[in-house]
Amino acid sequence: MKVCLEFLGCRLNESELQSWAEEFSKQGLMLTTKAQEASVIVLNTCAVTGEAARKSRQHLRKLHRSNPVAKLVATGCYASLEPEKVAEILGVDLVVTNPQKQDLVSMVFDQIELPEMPSMATDPGESAIFSRNRDRAFIKVQDGCRYRCTYCIVTVARGDERSRTIEEIVNEVNQHYRQGIREIVLTGVHVGGYGSDIDSDLYHLVQQILRQTKIPRIRFASVEPWDLPENFFKLFEDKRLMPHMHLPLQSGCNSVLRRMSRRCKTEEFAALIAKAKTLIPEFNVTTDIIVGFPGETDEEWEQTQDFVKLMNFGHIHIFSYSNREGTKAARLPQQIDANTKKTRSQQLHKMAIESTTNQLAQQLGKQCEVLLESGKEQLEDGRFRYWGHTPNYYKICLVDHRDDLGSQIVIIDITGIHAAGSYLETALVAKISDPEASLKHFQWVS
Ligand code: SF4
């Protein structure tokens, strides 16, 4: 789930976005600058002049038009001066006045029912876990899915599995590399099923990408935790494959998984993760969980919580179940009420934060290579703040006096965890100017 934060008016209004951004990230939401892709949009309004108030109203309407399904939150001076009027503007779901601003994030979670089920389990080219930026390319390797998970509309919407040829994919990767891209994410609706229609498989595809391209960093978007080819994890011996996978579990209870028609039981999931962690140093697993699936009893929910605790996920995307017309799950009896879903979602958010914090703590003192994103901000002391991810996909922040580190692979020391608990603080060790030189290094230097 993504949140888009916008402001009108003064610097103070702008600076408030930063603390909300940190709090939302802590709750597991990703930030986006595009209102169209957000589930929640917050506008910090201004009322310094009549014109500013008019613009605030106009901008709220525009945001609603650009994404009518997103939840729209109005806050700031104009929303405080005329809260009733603002609440009546088409599309506004919540008004947060200035005195309530420090509680804005908790008010969003308490007072808005968030549309948390993704419209599709995975959407090629997009992934809940990876943000789009100029340094990372999403390569769609296949479309469609042969399975029928009962909550998923994807098979209806996208049809049977169709894989692109290895040649096509390799050419696309090489083209991105020539254009300066240094990280690719292989995506699809059912990536693990790659090749089933063309007598190939994911192992073979990745092997050929490694052989026929020089792309230094390869990641996978969401991959269902079954159908992975034999010896798949052996591929990670090549350090160009980043030691992280997003493996959607959806529930930690086998009876719920059965009702979902998932093809992986909890024992098999646990065994898969254990195998990956044994074979791949520093391997990080992130996942999706749906709370409040039809018929989910208290006991089944307990089982999910117990299983999640055991898995040490680096990050959990939490979705409250919502009915999708045309799916089998929508016709299942015993739909769960909104309050129960909200309570379960809050419980799981708390566990997810603890789990991420524990995993971040284990990164302290390590040294690794990161690809810094091209965007940077200049701080008041003149230094620059860069963002990136460790090979195993923990978010890092680097503050340095150099202004030329964007879009570069650098070696960093992990020195701390930011107070908001959502990312790692780091210090620059060395810059690797020639991207190909990075291949001589292990991603984990120590
Ligand atoms: S495996 Fe299930 S959830 Fe994933 S795309 Fe196929 S039907 Fe949807």
- CATH code for the domain in which residue 49 is found: 3.40.50.12160
Q: Are residues 93 and 206 in the same domain?
A: no
Q: Are residues 354 and 377 in the same domain?
A: no
SS3 content of the chain, % helix, strand, coil (to 5): 35, 25, 40
Q: Is 76 among the domain residues?
A: yes
Q: Is 122 among the domain residues?
A: no
- Of 333, 361, 389, the position where a domain reaches its end is 361
pLDDT band (50, 70, 90) for residue 440: very low
The larger pLDDT score, comparing residue 421 to residue 267, is at 267
221 lines ligand 1 (CB under 6 A): no
- Of 327, 361, 395, the position where a domain reaches its end is 361
In DSSP notation, 114-151 reads ---S-SSS-BTTB-SSPPP-TTEEEEE-EE--S---TT
Pocket test for ligand 1, best of 117, 147, 222 (most atoms within 8 A of CB): 147
CA distance 125 to 431: 30
CA of 142 to the centre of ligand 1 (A): 13
pLDDT band (50, 70, 90) for residue 435: low
pLDDT band (50, 70, 90) for residue 446: very low
Min mean pLDDT across 86-90, 132-136, 405-409 is at: 132-136
CA distance 371 to 388: 6
Q: Are residues 59 and 81 in the same domain?
A: yes
CATH of the domain at 381: 2.40.50
Query: Which among 267, 201, 268, 264 is positioned nearest to 235, based on CA atoms?
Result: 201
Q: Are residues 53 and 144 in the same domain?
A: no
149 lines ligand 1 (CB under 6 A): yes
pLDDT for residue 421 is more than 90:
no
Q: Is 303 among the domain residues?
A: yes
* Tokens 């919540």 belong to residue: 94
| Interval 112-122: pLDDT, tens | 876 555 544 44
Q: What is the pLDDT of residue 351?
A: 95
- Residue having the nearest C-alpha atom to atom 2 of ligand 1: 149
CA distance 191 to 289: 19
Q: Are residues 357 and 411 in the same domain?
A: no
Spatial contact of 429 and 444, defined as CB atoms under 8 Å apart: no
Mean pLDDT of 418-441: 74
Counting the structural domains of the chain, the total is: 3
pLDDT for residue 404 is more than 70:
yes
Find the radius of gyration of the CA atoms of the chain. Answer: 22
Q: Are residues 386 and 259 in the same domain?
A: no
Element (H, E) at 311: helix 298-311
Pocket test for ligand 1, best of 117, 145, 289 (most atoms within 8 A of CB): 145
Q: Is 157 among the domain residues?
A: yes
Q: Are residues 340 and 434 in the same domain?
A: no
- Which SS3 state, helix, strand or coil, does residue 404 take? coil
Which token pair is 8? 């009108």
Q: What is the pLDDT of residue 90?
A: 80
- Of 326, 343, 361, the position where a domain reaches its end is 361
CB atoms within 10 A of CB 205: 23
Q: Are residues 194 and 305 in the same domain?
A: yes
Phi-psi region of 71 (alpha: psi -120 to 50; beta: other; left: phi over 0): beta
Q: Is 120 among the domain residues?
A: no
CA dihedral sign of residues 37, 38, 44, 50:
positive
Which token pair is 160? 């049977």
Q: Are residues 335 and 376 in the same domain?
A: no
Q: Is 123 among the domain residues?
A: no
Q: Is 263 among the domain residues?
A: yes
155 lines ligand 1 (CB under 6 A): yes
Q: Are residues 296 and 346 in the same domain?
A: yes
Q: What is the pLDDT of residue 128?
A: 53
| Interval 157-214: pLDDT, tens | 667 899 999 999 999 999 999 988 999 999 888 999 999 999 999 999 999 999 999 9
Query: Which among 402, 284, 288 is positioned nearest to 345, based on CA atoms?
Result: 288
181 lines ligand 1 (CB under 6 A): no
Spatial contact of 111 and 129, defined as CB atoms under 8 Å apart: no
Query: Which among 174, 175, 272 is positioned nearest to 223, based on CA atoms?
Result: 272
Which token pair is 402? 């150099």
CA distance 146 to 127: 20
pLDDT band (50, 70, 90) for residue 442: very low
| Interval 71-108: pLDDT, tens | 999 999 999 888 989 988 888 999 999 888 888 998 99
- Return the ligand 1 atom nearest residue 148 CA: 7
189 lines ligand 1 (CB under 6 A): yes
Q: Is 126 among the domain residues?
A: no
Q: What is the pTM of this model?
A: 0.76
Q: What is the pLDDT of residue 177?
A: 93
> Mean pLDDT for the chain?
88
Amino acid at 59: H
262 lines ligand 1 (CB under 6 A): no
Which residue range(s) make up the domain with 385? 367-440
CATH of the domain at 158: 3.80.30.20
pLDDT for residue 33 is more than 90:
no
Mean pLDDT of 287-297: 95
The larger pLDDT score, comparing residue 322 to residue 414, is at 414
Which token pair is 61? 């309407």
pLDDT for residue 229 is more than 90:
no
Q: Are residues 232 and 346 in the same domain?
A: yes
Query: Which among 58, 94, 62 is positioned nearest to 75, based on CA atoms?
Result: 94
Query: Which among 182, 183, 215, 221 is positioned nearest to 202, based on CA atoms?
Result: 221
Q: Are residues 193 and 312 in the same domain?
A: yes
Mean pLDDT of 424-442: 71
